[in-house]
A = this chain, B = another copy of it.
Amino acid sequence: MPRSAPTPKPWPSDAWYIACTPDELADKPLGRTICGEPMVLYRGKDGKVAALEDFCPHRGAPLSLGFVRDGDLVCGYHGLAMACTGHAASMPGQRVKNFPPIRSYPAIERHGFIWVWPGEAERADEAKLHPLPWAEDAGWAFGGGLYHVACDYRLMIDNLMDLTHENYVHAGSIGQPEIDEAPVTTRVEGDEVVTTRVMSAVQAPPFWRMALRSAGLPDDGLVDRWQICRFSLPSHVMIKVGVALEGRGGPDADPSAKAAAVVVDFITPETEHSHWYFWGFARQFAVDDPAVTASIREGQRKIFSEDLAMLEQQQENLLRRPDRKLLKLNIDAGGVRSRMMIERAIAAEA
């Protein structure tokens, strides 16, 4: 094949992405591709997380099949031990000083997640970690999960920045006709894209009736319902959602009159046509009740699985028709503006 300039990657590289949860590193190294980079994640010295290329410089075996010994990652094939810097540390009967190093990725554990920086290591800056206020605040409860999704991560962003789809994909749980009727507004606020939809004086759908009950509120009256989707680079979507008793101020109502939460969506590209989807639900009601956490997690797991089927088949359809231009309607503005922000970030890196 003729050589051509490499296609730029369709995601920013100089950013923190969630690679896995602490649970996933409980007993052994984890191999996972993040932003096109096959990585091995593990706990090194003092349990500190580390991320290396998943490629032993000796014979190319995946280091993720190995084990940790004295803080070094030992290849499970012939025992080359790698330091978390990516340099060879030792090997039985060998001098390793001149072994070629492999790539080491900045990694950090924070807010209950393991984050990696797939781009230039020297630009990695902990201050750029996405803040998760609820992760360290007893006034919130959180539950979540992980899906592997076989579609471009940007289709997931589109999905989340326009919740009109709730009415179709999730008709049985969180959809309701008023979503279609309530106008949606999209604006850029600094580094964020914000899509807002408020439905006034509506009946709460099943999921939110459950939430009202959990919050100790009546579930059969009219409510004001809101969805405020907030995109930030590289690919995070935090969605303020909730219902308040009618006329009490909607999202700004007193906590005693509402069931309020944030749908948490961390979207980590794997390849051009697949991603890791770390989803969750941080709530400000019934925060001390683990049964509510479990019930919501299970409900969200089911609801989000409905998105998966749609998104993966949308991806297949788009790959089959690469020449087709899609529409950009008013309801799509959130996704469209988020993609523009991504494009600018990629261009700025180049």
Bound Cα distance A309, B65 (Å): 9
Q: Which of A77, A165, A321, A324 has the most CB of B within 10 A?
A: A77
A37 CB to closest chain B CB (Å) equals 11
Query: Quick check: is A3 within 8 A (CB to CB) of the other chain?
Result: no
A312 → chain B closest CB, angstroms: 10
CA of A324 to CA of B78, assembled, Å: 18
Query: Interface readout for A82-109 with B: 1 if CB under 8 Å, 0 if not?
Result: 0000000001111000011000000000
**Interface hit among A18-26, A52-60, A291-299:** A52-60
Q: Name the one of B65, B100, B309, B324 contacting A313, with C-beta atoms under 8 angstroms.
A: B65
> B-facing mask of A110-136, CB < 8 A → 1, else 0?
000000000000000000000000000
Structural contact, B54 and A310, CB atoms closer than 8 A: no
Instruction: Tell me which residues across on chain B come within 8 A of A169, comparing CB atoms.
Output: 76-77
Q: How far is the CB of A17 from chain B (nearest CB, A)?
A: 20
Chain B residues near A91: list those with CB within 8 A.
Answer: 329
Q: Are A92 and B181 in contact (CB under 8 A)?
A: yes
The answer to whether B59 touches A158, judged by C-beta atoms less than 8 angstroms apart, is: yes
Q: Report if A348 contacts B (CB, 8 A).
A: no
* Shortest Cβ gap from A95 to chain B (Å): 10
Task: Evaluate contact between B317 and A79: CB separation under 8 angstroms.
Answer: no
Contact of A62 among B313, B327, B329, B332 (CB under 8 A): B313
Supposing A65-B309, A168-B78, A313-B65 touch, asked if A330 and B180 sit within 8 A by C-beta, the answer is no
Picked from B54, B181, B314, the residue with its CB within 8 Å of the CB of A59 is: B314
Which one of B54, B75, B164, B318 contacts A78 once the chains associate, using CB atoms below 8 Å?
B164
- The chain B residue sitting closest to A61, CB to CB, is B314
Asked whether A314 lies within 8 Å of B77 as measured between CB atoms, the reply is: yes
| Interfacial residues of chain A within 22-75, with CB under 8 A of chain B in the complex | 38, 54-55, 57-62, 65-66, 74-75
158-195 of chain A: CB within 8 A of chain B: 158, 162, 164-165, 167-169, 180-181, 183
Give Cα A181 to B94, complex, Å: 10
Q: Which residues from chain B contact A316 at a C-beta distance below 8 Å?
A: 62
9 pairs across A/B with beta carbons < 8 Å?
A59-B314, A59-B332, A60-B317, A60-B324, A77-B168, A78-B165, A79-B168, A92-B164, A92-B181
Q: Which 8 A-B pairs have the closest CB atoms?
A: A92-B180, A61-B314, A60-B318, A58-B327, A62-B313, A78-B164, A60-B317, A79-B168
